[in-house]
Structure formats: C-alpha cells, structure tokens
Structure 1
Amino acid sequence: MRKARNIALSATMLFPFIFPLPVQAAQGNDPDWPCVQRKVPELSIGQVWNGPQLPEAANNWANDQAIEDLISDIAARRNPLDVAQKKIVAFSAGLPKGEANDKLFQVFQGVFDTLNREREQVISGISRYAGRQRDMAEDLRKEAAVVDAMRAKPDADPEELDRQEERLKWETRIFEERVQSLSYVCEVPTIIEQRLYGLAKTISQSLVKP
C-alpha cells in the first residue's frame, strides 16, 4: 500500500499559488499588467519638470561630451541619488553664468531621455515576464490536474505518482520564486520615476535666476 503523502499538492491547493497575478489588481488599460502600480508606458516632461520651457537646443545634449558623461553618471541607479545631485550642483557651479542655463537644460533633457527610455524597457520586460508566468501557471494547473487524477486511481503506480508529485512541487517552488521576483521588479519603474524627479528638481534649483 502506498504510504500517505501529507506534502502532496492537489490542483485545488495550487490555485492560490498559480493565480497570484490577477489578485494583485492590474491597473490601467492593460488587463494583463501584473503590477499594483498603474501602468504608464511613457512619461512626459511636464510630469517631472517645473522649470522654464526647454529650448529646442536642449535636444542636442549628446553633442557635448562633458554633458553626456555627466548624464551617464547621474542617471545610473547604482549611484546614490544624493551623490548624483551634488554632482549636478558642482557642474553648475563650474559653468560660466551666461551658459549655465542652456547647459543645465541639456542636462535635464538628457537625463529625461535616458531614464524614460530605461523605464520603458523595464515596463516591456515586466510584461514579457508576466506573460511567461501566465504560461507557467497554466502548465502547473494542467500538471496538478494530472496528479489529482492519478491519485484518484486505486491502481496508480506509486513510484510514478511520487515522481509526478515531486516534479510538481519543484516547478511550483520555481513559480513562487518568480512571483516574488516580479513583485520586486514591479517597483523599478517607480524607483526610476523618483530618481528622475529628484534630479529634475536639483537641475531646476541650479538654474541661474534672471
């Protein structure tokens, strides 16, 4: 007689683990968006910039190597925000007064372009990740149903059932770990927004007042 399996998982028991994404209340116009945070695919300058209107020349930020290097440095999330803000202040202090604002406009435009693009890539990655999770969830549901059906058969092969149950437990564990990773990744767009806002505020405050 096959021994009792207290740790065996049934299809019913798996439901809370297989379908956590809808429970997280997808926001916005995308019903497949898995994050609690609302999906805003692209930011606008007006959402983060409260300084003067940017001149067209601000888009030429990549033509100035010093500005491009500064943008790469302060946009990188590996660098603490307060350190990046101090670098903006130091950069501004070293500019001729007549050129300061034009240079700072370019710095902001470059930071906005860089972080907005990075944020878009993260959001796209989240959507792809969530799609794979849904596929895994469906596969797990099917495998759990197979295990339940085998368990219900009095003549089921105990060794084969053991193998199927162990496989199901292992794949469920992997799925749960991916759910936890998704919860963290969902925070990244907000982290990028906060950094962009913080840098924009420092740039605006560094402008030379008329």
Structure 2
Amino acid sequence: MVASIILLALPASALAAQNQDPDWPCVQRKVPELSLGQIWNGPDLPASAADWSTDPDIPDLVRELAARRVPIPEAEQEIRDFAAALPKDRAQEQLAKLFQGLFDHMNNERAQVMSGIGRYARNQVQLAARLRKEGSEVDALSAKPDADHAEIARLTDRLVFETRIFEERVQSLTYVCEVPTLIEQRLYALAKVIAEEMKEK
C-alpha cells in the first residue's frame, strides 16, 4: 500500500521538466527574460524612455496597469484615456515612457515569479525524496516478523497525509506555472494599445 502511494504521487509531480534547467518544473518552456523585440512593434523608443521611473505621472500608472486584478480591457482604456489627455508635444515621449515602465516592471515581476517557481520545485523534489525514504522505512518495518502493527498504522497514516499535501502542491504548481505566460500576454496586449496611440499622435 505504501509503495503504491509513493508511485502514484511522484509521476504526477511533473518535476522531471523537459528543459535544460533541472529546477524548472513547468510544461511551458523557460524563457528567463523577455526582450523588447518580442513585445514592442511600435516606433523607436527615445532615450528618455529609460527615465520613466523619475516621471511624476508614470510610475503609479505603471503599477496600476500591471496589476492583474485590473481586467485587461479596463487597463487598455486607461491607456487610451491617458493618451487623450496628453499635450500633443509630449504625447510620444510620455507614451514611450509608459511602455518602457510597463516592460521593466512586468519583466521584473515575471522573473520574480519564475524564481519562486524554481524554489517551489526544489522543495517538492526534497519532499518527494523524503516520502520515498519514509515509504521504504515503513515497508521494511512491515516485513519484520515482530512488527508493531499500531506503529505501522500510525506511520502509514502520516505518510498518506504527507502524500496528500504533496499532491495538492503539485496541483498548485500547475496553476502557478501559468503566471509568467499571463504576465507576458498582458504586457503584449498593453504594448499593442500604446503603440496604436503613438501612431495616432
């Protein structure tokens, strides 16, 4: 029984990732950082776009637009409203700063999520090894002629409980693995609207 619990739990973890990074457990291919070329198809960005964090209007807007609690259509409309309120002689520069800010902020957020996924996966590997060890110990104990059946039952119950936790964490990891892709998709959608607004100015 114990052996079957471990055998069922471990393959479900999908920890043997098909990537070169052994700590990357997701089905999605690991791309550590995004590049501007992947996301941006608008006009060339001026050098001043890099100074977005010191602009009085941009940082708060970046944080608001990047937040996944804000539906993408609402965020897109916020960008259009922001662009409509800009003086014509400042529109290109401010929109460029907005995109650069979103790119820097969301790329960093995505990297932090991916780092967390790696730590999560390493913890799962360690937990899987401990479950295997405990399972082997319970099997060895059960094989003894003078085995304490009450102790075996207690250890088995604990192993079943820990295996359930392991499987729940596997399920959580499946959802967490989607987050970098969701961030990338959101950034691309917002960048598209900014590029459209810049072309109209």
TM over 0.5: yes
Letter in structure 2 aligned against 1:11 = A
In structure 1, C-alpha distance between the alignment counterparts of 2:105 and 2:47, rounded to whole Å: 17
| Count of paired positions | 201
Q: Which of 103, 106, 113 does residue 112 from structure 1 map onto?
A: 103
Correspondence list, 1:19-34, <5 A: 19-21=11-13, 23=14, 26-34=17-25
In structure 2, C-alpha distance between the alignment counterparts of 1:202 and 1:69, rounded to whole Å: 18
Letter in structure 2 aligned against 1:207 = M
In structure 2, C-alpha distance between the alignment counterparts of 1:143 and 1:177, rounded to whole Å: 19
Q: What CA deviation, in whole Å up to 9, does each residue of 1:134-180 have, x standing for no partner?
A: 00000000001111112222310011111110110111011111101
Shift of 1:56: 1.1
Question: Please, what TM-score do these two structures have when normalized by structure 2?
Answer: 0.95
1:16 matched to 2:8: yes
Task: Answer with 95-104 or 149-158: which moved more.
Answer: 149-158
Shift of 1:183: 0.6
In structure 2, C-alpha distance between the alignment counterparts of 1:110 and 1:132, rounded to whole Å: 33
Q: Per the alignment, do residues 89 and 27 of structure 1 end up closer, same or farther by CA in structure 2, a change over 3 Å counting?
A: farther
Letter in structure 2 aligned against 1:42 = E
Shift of 1:69: 1.4
In structure 1, C-alpha distance between the alignment counterparts of 2:95 and 2:20, rounded to whole Å: 36
Structure number with higher relative contact order (C-alpha < 8 Å, ≥ 6 residues apart) = 2
Shift of 1:67: 1.4
CA contact (8 A) 2:2 2:156 kept: no
Correspondence list, 1:37-186, <5 A: 37-186=28-177
User: Can you give the 5+ residue segments of structure 2 that lack an aligned partner in the other structure?
Assistant: none
In structure 2, C-alpha distance between the alignment counterparts of 1:41 and 1:136, rounded to whole Å: 25
CA contact (8 A) 1:115 1:192 kept: yes
What is the aligned partner in structure 1 of residue 196 from structure 2?
Answer: 205
Deviant stretches of 4+, over 4 Å: none
In structure 2, C-alpha distance between the alignment counterparts of 1:50 and 1:28, rounded to whole Å: 29
Shift of 1:33: 1.1
Identity of aligned residues (%): 55
In structure 1, C-alpha distance between the alignment counterparts of 2:83 and 2:5, rounded to whole Å: 60
Q: What CA deviation, in whole Å up to 9, does each residue of 1:5-26 have, x standing for no partner?
A: xxxx3224412312434x4662
In structure 2, C-alpha distance between the alignment counterparts of 1:182 and 1:194, rounded to whole Å: 19
